[in-house]
Structure 1
Amino acid sequence: MAAAKKGGLGKGLDSLITNKVGATGTTDAVRIPEPDKEVIFVKITKVEPNREQPRKNFDEDSLLELSESLKQYGILQPLLVQDKKDYFEIIAGERRWRAAKMAGLKEIPVIIKKLSEQEIVEISLIENIQRENLNPIEEALAFKRLLNEFHLKQDEVAERVSKSRTAVTNSMRLLKLDERVQQMVVDDMISTGHARALLAISENDKQYNLAQQIFDEKLSVRETEKLVKKLQNQKPELPKKAEEDKMSLFYEDMEQRLKSIMGTKVAIHYKNKDKGKIEIEYYSNDELERIIELFQSIHQTKI
């Protein structure tokens, strides 16, 4: 297995584990002088993952590759676990545990730690960041948990994972995306650059439709930013049908008002909002005379 990355993370997990453990499968414990760092072998069936750990997705091909390595060399880095009386819960090393099960190992090396819930989350997060195992959404959710559950500030979270506050803030902004778009990020259908550009679109359906367009047309981040800007500059327009319905209701009202004045059926035929014609029906010469007299009386009243 590749060595853990240490860039910017200070001592990180390497400060917790100083010795390597071979693949013999022996039950002999390797003694480490520092307190709380004794490596022991336990049955793999007594070890279970932490359901609250940040990482949720594991690449099956990568696990299979690691399991083949474990068959030859064993687990070179013990798992960190906490004692839950009936079983050991993984703090760090779930990927190694999964690969060990695939490799058919019966026992695995562990270090039992006594840690607070906050420390467990931090260690799990750091381990995954070191190995670049988390997808952007998993990472953002882990940061959010540190903020909400343990009441840390963003700069405190940034300090613990050796990232800038801006990086933590930008990561958590991804959680404002529509859930369907978040899943597209998880599935590598769009990049975090595309996702950040989509944050400017407030309507979920528009956001998701645009994400689909990015994927289908293989748009670059720059092309996406231009498209988002173009959409933002467009003035909202009423749908054509809605506009027609609005005009129809207006002229129906006008027809009723004219009908009450004329005392007969009146129809308004409009070409657009400024032009049209009025059709007045009559059913006898006497009624026609009455309508003409009505217009004359209106005209005389104005004079």
Structure 2
Amino acid sequence: MAKAVKKQALGRGLSALLNDPENDIKSASDKNADKVVGNIIELDLAYIEVNPFQPRSNFNDESLQELATSIRELGVIQPITVRKLGFNNYQLVSGERRFRASKLLQLKTIPAYIRIANDQESLEMALVENIQRQDLDPIEIALSYQRLIDEINLTQEKLSDRVGKKRSTIANYMRLLKLDPIIQTGMRDGFLSMGHGRALVNIENREDQIALYEKIIGQNLSVRETENAVKAFKESATEKPLKKKEKETPAFINDGAQELVERLSVKVAISTTGKSKGKITIPFHSEEEFKRIKKLITGA
């Protein structure tokens, strides 16, 4: 068993500054703020609340246990980031897995960077840092990009600069949000890869998406096989014959057909081959009916 590394005492003097209620630091312009903001301190876990802007929603228990084991042996190597809300009140910006694993170990403190930021800045920091540092699933990343665009009012070009990703990469993630929610859930649960999702998003109708999704799961299709299935589906949909436009029946035929029906007492079928051309079909079901119809037409 590896020998536990003694945790380095970080920011003890800084902790004293933060524990002084009379000189509480509330903004970056306050006295001694420059000694606290952006620095690392050993922060009491009880003072930290979870960030409601956290894009990650699923935390694997086994993975957290493994991280907890690592922290027990080596300590928290990378500090978390928090923002100061008030006296002894902090909100997590990034590092929720480290925060949760430390709580599993029932640790009292955790090394933390202190930031002072408003809600919008906190949201941006949380989304950007998590996109870059955490193994979010493709849908979580897509949702994070969407929130940065919608709530921080970033353009895709500015977002590209902010997160260090190509615009085409961002666009590919965001297109996944066009998938049916059932398929998005499948991706978040690991049943589909991003490659599968990128292929399926080329199908516009969501019912058709789900039909192909069920085929992928049922037949365990690879990404390449899925791409071929999507291609085959789109080709078959293109080849479906268009419905022929129904011809308008001239008024003289409609009027005349009703007169024939009333005169002959049978349902007469009339088909047209042009504006004034066509044929009349008069059905009969017995010799007697034929003779009756003949007599009505010829008079003999």
TM-score for both structures, normalised by structure 2:
0.72
When residues 197 and 125 of structure 1 are mapped into structure 2, their CA distance, relative to the original with a 3 A threshold, is: same
One-letter amino acid matched to 2:202 = A
CA distance in 1 between counterparts of 2:46 and 2:35 reads: 27
Q: Secondary structure in 2 aligned to 1:110? A: strand
CA distance in 2 between counterparts of 1:77 and 1:96 reads: 9
Deviation at 1:291, TM superposition (A): 2.8
Q: In the alignment, what sits opposite 2:185?
A: 183
Task: Give yes or no for contact 2:10–2:42 (8 Å, CA) kept in 1.
Answer: yes
Task: Give yes or no for contact 1:201–1:207 (8 Å, CA) kept in 2.
Answer: yes
Deviation at 1:143, TM superposition (A): 0.8
Counterpart selection for 2:7 from 23, 35, 43: 23
Task: Give yes or no for contact 1:22–1:75 (8 Å, CA) kept in 2.
Answer: no
Equivalent residue pairs, number:
251
Deviation at 1:212, TM superposition (A): 1.9
Q: In the alignment, what sits opposite 1:37?
A: 38
When residues 75 and 30 of structure 1 are mapped into structure 2, their CA distance, relative to the original with a 3 A threshold, is: farther
CA distance in 1 between counterparts of 2:12 and 2:100 reads: 23
When residues 81 and 132 of structure 1 are mapped into structure 2, their CA distance, relative to the original with a 3 A threshold, is: closer
TM-score for both structures, normalised by structure 1:
0.71
One-letter amino acid matched to 1:278 = P
Deviation at 1:116, TM superposition (A): 3.7
Deviation at 1:101, TM superposition (A): 1.2
Q: In the alignment, what sits opposite 1:12?
A: none
When residues 205 and 25 of structure 1 are mapped into structure 2, their CA distance, relative to the original with a 3 A threshold, is: farther
Q: In the alignment, what sits opposite 2:141?
A: 139
Taking only the aligned residue pairs, the percentage that are identical comes to: 36
One-letter amino acid matched to 2:190 = D
One-letter amino acid matched to 1:193 = G
Q: In the alignment, what sits opposite 1:278?
A: 283
Deviation at 1:150, TM superposition (A): 1.6
Task: Give yes or no for contact 1:118–1:146 (8 Å, CA) kept in 2.
Answer: no
CA distance in 1 between counterparts of 2:150 and 2:240 reads: 37
Q: In the alignment, what sits opposite 1:173?
A: 175
Q: In the alignment, what sits opposite 2:89?
A: 87
CA distance in 2 between counterparts of 1:166 and 1:50 reads: 29
When residues 290 and 217 of structure 1 are mapped into structure 2, their CA distance, relative to the original with a 3 A threshold, is: closer
Structure 1 residues not aligned, in runs of 5+: 1-20, 239-254, 269-275
When residues 69 and 90 of structure 1 are mapped into structure 2, their CA distance, relative to the original with a 3 A threshold, is: same
When residues 256 and 24 of structure 1 are mapped into structure 2, their CA distance, relative to the original with a 3 A threshold, is: farther
CA distance in 2 between counterparts of 1:296 and 1:81 reads: 101
CA distance in 1 between counterparts of 2:84 and 2:240 reads: 59
Q: In the alignment, what sits opposite 2:116?
A: 114
Deviation at 1:126, TM superposition (A): 3.5
Counterpart selection for 1:217 from 216, 219, 223: 219
For residues 265-291 of structure 1, give each alpha carbon's deviation from its aligned partner in whole angstroms, at most 9, with x where no partner exists.
x599xxxxxxx9934479xx7x87643
Task: Give yes or no for contact 2:79–2:110 (8 Å, CA) kept in 1.
Answer: yes
CA distance in 1 between counterparts of 2:113 and 2:216 reads: 46
> What is the alpha-carbon root mean square deviation over aligned residues?
3.4
CA distance in 1 between counterparts of 2:71 and 2:116 reads: 27
When residues 260 and 277 of structure 1 are mapped into structure 2, their CA distance, relative to the original with a 3 A threshold, is: closer
Q: Secondary structure in 2 aligned to 1:83? A: strand
CA distance in 2 between counterparts of 1:262 and 1:143 reads: 74
CA distance in 2 between counterparts of 1:87 and 1:236 reads: 64
For residues 122-167 of structure 1, give each alpha carbon's deviation from its aligned partner in whole angstroms, at most 9, with x where no partner exists.
3323432343421111111111111111211111101111111111
Deviation at 1:175, TM superposition (A): 0.8
Structure 2 residues not aligned, in runs of 5+: 16-32, 243-256, 270-280
Q: Secondary structure in 2 aligned to 1:90? A: strand
2:61 is equivalent to residue 56 of structure 1: no
For residues 236-258 of structure 1, give each alpha carbon's deviation from its aligned partner in whole angstroms, at most 9, with x where no partner exists.
479xxxxxxxxxxxxxxxx9987
CA distance in 1 between counterparts of 2:227 and 2:10 reads: 58
Q: Does 160-169 or 211-220 show the bigger shift?
A: 211-220
Deviation at 1:61, TM superposition (A): 0.7
